[in-house]
A and B are shown apart, each in its own frame.
Chain A
Amino acid sequence: MLFLEQLLNGVQLGMMLFLMAAGLTLIFGIMHLINLAHGSLYMVGAYFTATVTVMSGSFAIGLFGGCVAAACCGVLIELLAMRHLYHRDHLDQVLATFGIILTANEATKMIFGPQALFLNPPDWLSETVQILPDTPYPAYRLFVIISGIVVALFLRHLITHTRLGMLIRAGATHREMVTALGFNISLLFTVVFALGAGLAGLAGGLAGPLLAIEVGMGEQILILTFVVIIIGGIGSVKGALVAGLLVGIVDTLSRAFLPTLLKTMLPTASADALAGSVSSMAIYIVMALVLIVRPEGLYRAYGT
């Protein structure tokens, strides 16, 4: 039973990572842009969700506000900086988006103050539910899992069944052709960037009731997100989903069961310490293993 519960926890973390990774992998797959500032958009989403929720009294409105704010910031960043970086090499992109992180962190601190913001789940989600016998599970975590599934279905529909999705797929592989056919590729890029930013904002808003909303929260999850899109294969939304779940589950299970496992072999004190170290490294080990076997990640891009 504990195992099932931990598995569910892993799925929930995985969904959270998927929401972050989906936006990042779209931006990377289509514009070939490494966006380190994706974590900053997540932070913007969380901060605005908290602020709007307090102002409006409704978490749903707050979440919407967070999404919109992150998307707007995304458009702003795209127009001012990213637009000029699409044809540059990755190194320039890393440097520019590194600069954006510094700016975003400090600006957030100046606007909202250095202390963490308050955001709790709405009342109807703050209880626990019994989905497994004898195991009360936080309703809010279930809500996150469901949100993740909804977003995954939405993205699947968007990419395979809509005109925008068709352009996204085409724009990624045959950029010149799309331009030649008279489509405004730079508009498409702006739209995709806004979409990715909005998803990051949604992830931030959803994370808000679980986590500390503070400056630097973006970087904590950014590196995990990169691990996810790398394992999944860059550009593949499906890969992001699978890898998100994989990373979420590996991370959770290693934290949950490694200490017990090691205690069977080692004295308690050193087992505790070793388990702490190994579980911090677990996802990086998984990533290294995946890349050694499949240097381009699990899924090929655009295989949605």
Chain B
Amino acid sequence: MQLSPKIRNAIALASLCVSANALAEPAKIGMITTLSGGGASLGIDIRDGFELALKERNNQLGGIDVDMIIVDDGRKVDNAKQIARRMVERDQVDIMTGIVWSNLAMAVIPSVTADGTIYISPNAGPSLLAGKRCHPNYFNVAWQNDNLHEAMGQYVSDKGYNKVYLIAPNYPAGKDALAGFKRFYKGQIAGEVYTKLGQVDYAAEIANLRAENPDAVFFFLPGGMGINFTKQYAQAGLKESIPLFGPAFSFDEGILKAVGDAAIDTMNTSQYSHDLDNSANKAFVAKFMETYGRKPSLYASQGYDAALLLDSAFRAVGSDYKNREKFRAALAKADFSSVRGDFRFGPNQHPIQSIYVRKVVREGDSVTNQLVGTVFTQHQDAYASECKMK
């Protein structure tokens, strides 16, 4: 086959580039996240946050070239499992990250960490992985699943509410959420309802709830379920009489855009807020808005922090990053300025961090979160003591 000189030059150039890179041996990072179908906005936020950090550093982390492999799992366990195996066996990635959902995380993380891959969780934090099944190769840079609910339990108690109604979907994360809330909430429980996963209409639950006449409502309904519930709750005219409380998952920037005024004045707990007053966060928010034209959500901040954590570890060990032992030690130090302020790892390699409470307010044309206070400082999850790291 005859190639035109132009193409031949291009090939020569390309192979030159490849060999130049090969000298530095780029670190391989695999990201499995949800980019298509329902719930894609969370995965997109995580990816965008992570990629922003990479872009700022010319596609390097800690001075090491990075080879990113990003694959969409479509929120399917089976897909995530297959992609994870491909990344471990074929691509031989050094580090994995990206999974949004607890059920996908439970399917993937135990086996990849057992195979010796480092996993940095930018979102899901199932209790098993924080406790009995913790692993030296597993780091969680977001939260343990219960954290935000625990904070809300504390906050609602602090505010003197004494008869709270609880709603969550009928699946493990829903039950964990209410358990987390109850761990710190001291008052009475007016009622406890488990709804269908993916439920669209909450009229029946809202009517029952009104009949119980509680003085507050705590709900954990992530994604679209939360949008449905918040809108319907406001339309039932209850928002003013019975205040609504929930974790940040139903109040991220994307969801607030969809819910609008119906969410105003509700309180939510989060480990991050875009108006947190620290220099790392200010720079991040400005850069994120400039690059993507929207406010960063907590998911975006977690993606960004995951990249910053890796950046710090790569910087510490340099080209020696293949040495797992050294790399893990560097990661465990968490020597980076998190956009959420103070951050360090507990013995189970889950965050010890502050949890804040935010209020939904109108700001010009848009509805957004405003930081109003801190519920916990240096809060650790309840499972750390069950973790016996080998």
Query: Which of A121, A213, A216, A280 is the one whose CB lies under 8 Å from B258?
Result: A213
Specify which chain A residues have a CB less than 8 angstroms from the CB of B232 in the assembled complex. Answer: 138, 210
**Among A88-96, A112-120, A293-301, which stretch is in contact with chain B?**
A112-120
* Residue among A10, A105, A259, A276 with most chain B CB within 10 A: A276
Q: Does chain A have a CB within 8 A of B9? A: no
Contact across chains for B204 and A9 when beta carbons are under 8 A apart: yes
In chain B, residues 1-53, which have Cβ atoms closer than 8 Å to a Cβ of chain A?
36-38, 40-41, 44
* 29 intermolecular pairs with C-beta atoms under 8 Å apart: A6-B208, A9-B201, A9-B204, A16-B201, A106-B36, A114-B44, A116-B227, A117-B258, A128-B237, A135-B207, A136-B237, A138-B232, A138-B236, A211-B227, A211-B228, A211-B231, A212-B228, A214-B224, A214-B227, A214-B258, A217-B200, A252-B201, A252-B203, A252-B204, A255-B196, A255-B205, A256-B204, A272-B194, A273-B175
Q: Does chain B have a CB within 8 A of A275? A: yes
Task: Kindly supply a per-residue 1/0 record for chain A positions 187-216, scoring 1 wherever the CB is within 8 Å of any chain B CB and 0 otherwise.
Answer: 000000000000000000001011111111
Specify which chain B residues have a CB less than 8 angstroms from the CB of A210 in the assembled complex. Answer: 201, 228, 231-232, 235
Identify the 5 closest CB pairs spanning chains A and B, nearest first: A276-B170, A276-B194, A212-B227, A216-B38, A116-B258
Contact across chains for B235 and A256 when beta carbons are under 8 A apart: no
Shortest Cβ distance from A141 into B: residue: B203
Shortest Cβ distance from A275 into B: residue: B194
Q: Does chain A have a CB within 8 A of B260? A: yes
Specify which chain B residues have a CB less than 8 angstroms from the CB of A12 in the assembled complex. Answer: 203
Query: Which of A114, A116, A209, A277 is the one whose CB lies under 8 Å from B170?
Result: A277
The count of chain A contact residues (Cβ–Cβ below 8 Å) is 52
> How would you classify the secondary structure of chain B's contact residues: helix, strand, loop or mixed?
helix
Q: Does chain A have a CB within 8 A of B276? A: no
Query: Which of B38, B192, B211, B261 is the one whose CB lies under 8 Å from A215?
Result: B38
A95 to B261, CA, bound (A): 41
Q: Does chain B have a CB within 8 A of A173? A: no
Contact across chains for A105 and B37 when beta carbons are under 8 A apart: yes
Specify which chain B residues have a CB less than 8 angstroms from the CB of A140 in the assembled complex. Answer: 235
A242 to B145, CA, bound (A): 43
Specify which chain B residues have a CB less than 8 angstroms from the CB of A268 in the assembled complex. Answer: 192
Shortest Cβ distance from B197 into A: residue: A280
A251 to B41, CA, bound (A): 30
In the complex, how many angstroms separate the beta carbon of A268 from the nearest chain B beta carbon?
8
Q: Does chain A have a CB within 8 A of B116? A: no
A140 to B262, CA, bound (A): 14
Q: Does chain B have a CB within 8 A of A109? A: yes
Specify which chain B residues have a CB less than 8 angstroms from the CB of A109 in the assembled complex. Answer: 36, 40
Q: Does chain A have a CB within 8 A of B195? A: yes
Contact across chains for A276 and B38 when beta carbons are under 8 A apart: no
In the complex, how many angstroms separate the beta carbon of B256 from the nearest chain A beta carbon?
9
Specify which chain B residues have a CB less than 8 angstroms from the CB of A256 in the assembled complex. Answer: 204-205, 207-208
Contact across chains for B224 and A116 when beta carbons are under 8 A apart: yes
Q: Does chain B have a CB within 8 A of A58? A: no
Given contacts A109-B40, A116-B255, contact A272 B262 (CB under 8 A): no
Q: Does chain A have a CB within 8 A of B95? A: no
> How would you classify the secondary structure of chain A's contact residues: helix, strand, loop or mixed?
helix
A211 to B225, CA, bound (A): 8
A115 to B257, CA, bound (A): 9
A259 to B170, CA, bound (A): 13
Q: Does chain B have a CB within 8 A of A5? A: yes
A2 to B204, CA, bound (A): 10
Specify which chain B residues have a CB less than 8 angstroms from the CB of A211 in the assembled complex. Answer: 200-201, 224, 227-228, 231
In the complex, how many angstroms separate the beta carbon of B214 from the nearest chain A beta carbon?
15
Q: Does chain B have a CB within 8 A of A176? A: no
Specify which chain B residues have a CB less than 8 angstroms from the CB of A184 in the assembled complex. Answer: none
A100 to B258, CA, bound (A): 26
Contact across chains for A115 and B36 when beta carbons are under 8 A apart: no
Task: Kindly supply a per-residue 1/0 record for chain A positions 216-244, scoring 1 wherever the CB is within 8 Å of any chain B CB and 0 otherwise.
Answer: 11001100000000000000000000000
Q: Does chain B have a CB within 8 A of A279? A: yes
Q: Does chain A have a CB within 8 A of B193? A: yes
Contact across chains for A209 and B258 when beta carbons are under 8 A apart: no
Contact across chains for B258 and A118 when beta carbons are under 8 A apart: yes
Contact across chains for B260 and A2 when beta carbons are under 8 A apart: no
Task: Kindly supply a per-residue 1/0 record for chain A positions 1-13, scoring 1 wherever the CB is within 8 Å of any chain B CB and 0 otherwise.
Answer: 0100110011011
